[in-house]
Chain A
């Protein structure tokens, strides 16, 4: 890494002079993109605060003239939000934690440890991402049945612990860290466990944060697996519960449906906000080796 620094120092001083024009154009461009990205979300939130009769107004009124939280009351009246949220939280949090552990460990092994069958094993891990759920769901259900885990939350959680994507990401993360750190520790007489624990693991926080945040997002919104695996109403997760809001043959109120969508995205937003810090603090890890 040290070999890059002088070069970048040079380029930094070279382009100092042209810097003054950049930032505003950049911020405006980013703001436009952010608006495009958030547009549909804003529409969703504002529609959930409007009466159904105003829901399809054109031009769309972003700030509702008569905001009403009736739709949100509708959600709480029609479904047991608290039970659903508890189930979703349990499932998602445990999956996220589990994935961070399995992915962190396996990713490190693939990146920094030497052992036999490394390549085929890594191939096997990656291959699991390549089969759509729709193909394997019936066999998965049979496996879970043989373990007595159908229609339990554990049946949703345990199979989701191994994560091909997370393992791959963490492998790349560890590979991206300078090799000389570990080698230096080894020269100091540190064993493989110590090298992992004291040198590399502390640097992995941002990578693990990404694994955790993405796992939370994905499993929080998961629909197909819970639909197939959970049978008792007590085991439903939020996305399953929200289906009720659509009413028989799609006759539910659009405002209530969207209010449900907005409510269900709040925790995922919160997790992202919390996760921002470790994501940002990746910088500190890079600080170690300079």
Chain B
């Protein structure tokens, strides 16, 4: 994966006129690029590309780990396509992704913008730490806590809404509410991630611009839309792309909170992969589902980059 052998016809770097000795500079650039990319690319090839190729190959085999694999052709894919659980899990995951990412970005962005207004520095630090805090916890342990808080009969949440006269909601045990609850718990923990990115992105915008833009009131909002957002768009792209990729692989929260139920209402694709591989010992089929998920994520990400050309502004 090196670029040293790329003896391309000396391509102009940025401004051909400005460069005194373009060919040496080009070589220097390529060498630097090679050195800079080497750790990442080598690591990725060894620890990710090889395993990915491995699982793509595996998706063409029947394998239960114990016996040696037997060739299956496309049988795993056919099986997976007709499996209703797999289909439902893809649907769940897409619904989850749309709502979780939208909520996460919206909350994080409005908090980051609001926080960027004028206020004492210590207060800003306190708020910033508070919003970031859930990210510090492990998803699995906090889901155990959340499971108690959202319990229909003894949970704090139902007690709280009971104070204002709302009757108890079966947060985790109703097919209609469970996915929404999983989304709430996920967003609660994850919005700090986008929040942090936005804080960093806002910091990169020159002071006058966001001071002006973060003023309150209706005009303030408009200024955000026209001034801050375009400048923040590179960060917005990171937050969206990574948010989508992460959301499409959600596992811990539904696994702990509902174990996929009631019925299949909160079963996500990665849960199906995990169950198929490590509980049912059907590694071939699990890999096939994994490959499908990979293709889906890749398509969604490519789409985002395509759209981003219209919306993202680099300086």
Contacts and interface: CB of A to CB of B under 8 A. Distances in A.
Complex contact flag A–B (Cβ < 8 Å): yes
Contacts of A221: 137-139
Interface size band for B: 35 or more
Interface in A58-102: 58-60, 101-102
Given A8-B227, A126-B301, A173-B204, A139 B49 contact: no
Interface string B261-274: 00000000010011
B114 A37 contact: no
Contacts of A125: 40-41, 44
Contact of A175 (B1, B115, B234): B234
Contacts of B174: none
Contacts of A134: 251, 270, 273-274, 277-278, 286, 290
B140 A223 contact: yes
Q: Which of A140, A189, A209 has the most CB of B within 10 A?
A: A140
Contact of B40 (A167, A175, A179): A167
A178 B315 contact: yes
Contacts, number: 347
Given A8-B209, A38-B130, A134-B273, A165 B242 contact: yes
B208 A30 contact: no
Interface in A14-67: 14-15, 18-19, 21-23, 25-27, 29-31, 33-34, 37-38, 40-41, 43-44, 56, 58-60
A102 B43 contact: yes
Contacts of B41: 106, 121, 124-125, 162
B119 interface: yes
Given A7-B227, A30-B114, A172-B238, A22 B146 contact: no
A131 interface: yes
Interface stretch (B70-78, B79-87, B97-105, B292-300): B292-300
A4 B141 contact: no
Interface string B139-175: 1111011101100001010010000000000000000
Q: Which of B35, B148, B159 has the most CB of A within 10 A?
A: B148
B23 interface: no
B183 interface: no
A102 B19 CA distance: 28
Contact of A33 (B111, B136, B140, B234): B111
A268 to B, nearest CB: 4
Contact of A121 (B37, B127, B154, B286): B37
Contacts of A273: 129
A102 B37 CA distance: 8
B225 interface: no
B206 A139 contact: no
Leading 5 A-B pairs by shortest Cβ distance: A22-B216, A282-B203, A135-B290, A139-B51, A162-B43
Given A12-B215, A40-B142, 12 more contacts: A4-B231, A14-B219, A15-B219, A114-B29, A139-B55, A159-B43, A159-B47, A161-B40, A176-B315, A183-B18, A187-B18, A192-B29
11 contacts: A8-B212, A12-B208, A15-B220, A23-B216, A115-B29, A130-B248, A134-B274, A161-B39, A168-B242, A279-B203, A286-B204
